Structure 1
Amino acid sequence: MPPTSDPPPIRPGDVFRLTRAASPQFVTPITVRVIRHRSDWSTYQGWAWIECYQLDDRGDATARRELYVMPAGMIRQTESPSPVRRKRRTPARRTSVRAEG
């Protein structure tokens, strides 16, 4: 049997694509940004609890979740989607109208 390497540590801010390789619950893959790896919670060998934000296609957080996953099946995203900056609305300029007379 070839030696297996441990997956890289899960750190806050890391972004992952979760598919069925991470857990059978991800029939439809999702992207998450890690808040915390719950290493203080006991799990089966090869599994982990994470707290994370589920991200939409633009990189905005849509839900906060606690997930039970296999870190070896998590796909690290090298380029994380960054939230889209929304343009700030500037108030309309007021023009004063002088009464003639």
Structure 2
Amino acid sequence: MRPQPGDLLRIDGRASVQFAGDRALTFRVVSVCPKPTYTGWVWLTGYVIDRRGQAIDRREIFVQLAGLHRATSTPAPSRSRVSRPYASAHDQGDGGAARDGSGLRARADAR
């Protein structure tokens, strides 16, 4: 298989011994180096993808074309959740509780 930008690949020991066993990874291809290398090998640039579908590391890897396989689909990246501060009984949503500190007193009293 000849990879293209955007391909999601499972890189394991079939592609190169450095990715054998627990070193296997899921890889999103960004670019394929056009320069000639050893026959059947290619340089790929892309991102290591975690189980949640998040890109966690940008890498360049040298792999055998015959050992490349499409990855089973991973979950779509989830949007990060915005954590919101604790809302006290005095908080009316206008920020007044944060400005005057009444929200902090309410939390301390709740303990």
Distance 2:45 2:70 in 1: 16
SS of alignment partner, residue 72 of structure 1: helix
Distance 1:74 1:81 in 2: 21
Matched, 1:14 2:1: no
Give TM-score scaled by structure 2 length: 0.69
SS of alignment partner, residue 79 of structure 1: coil
Tell me the CA shift for residue 66 of structure 1: 0.6
Tell me the CA shift for residue 96 of structure 1: 6.0
Residue matched to 2:27 = 32
Q: Percent identity?
A: 38
Give unmatched runs, 5+ long, in structure 2: 88-92, 98-111
Tell me the CA shift for residue 89 of structure 1: 4.6
What does the per-residue CA deviation read over 1:58-86, in whole Å, with 9 as the maximum and x for residues that have no partner?
11111110100012211202424421222
**Which of the pair has more CA radius of gyration?**
2
- 1:1-101 paired onto structure 2 within 5 Å: 7=1, 9-27=2-20, 28-39=23-34, 41-89=35-83, 93-94=93-94
Give unmatched runs, 5+ long, in structure 1: 1-6
Please state which structure has a larger fraction of its residues in helix: 2
Aligned residues: 89
User: Which of structures 1 and 2 has the larger relative contact order (alpha carbons within 8 angstroms, sep 6+)?
Assistant: 1
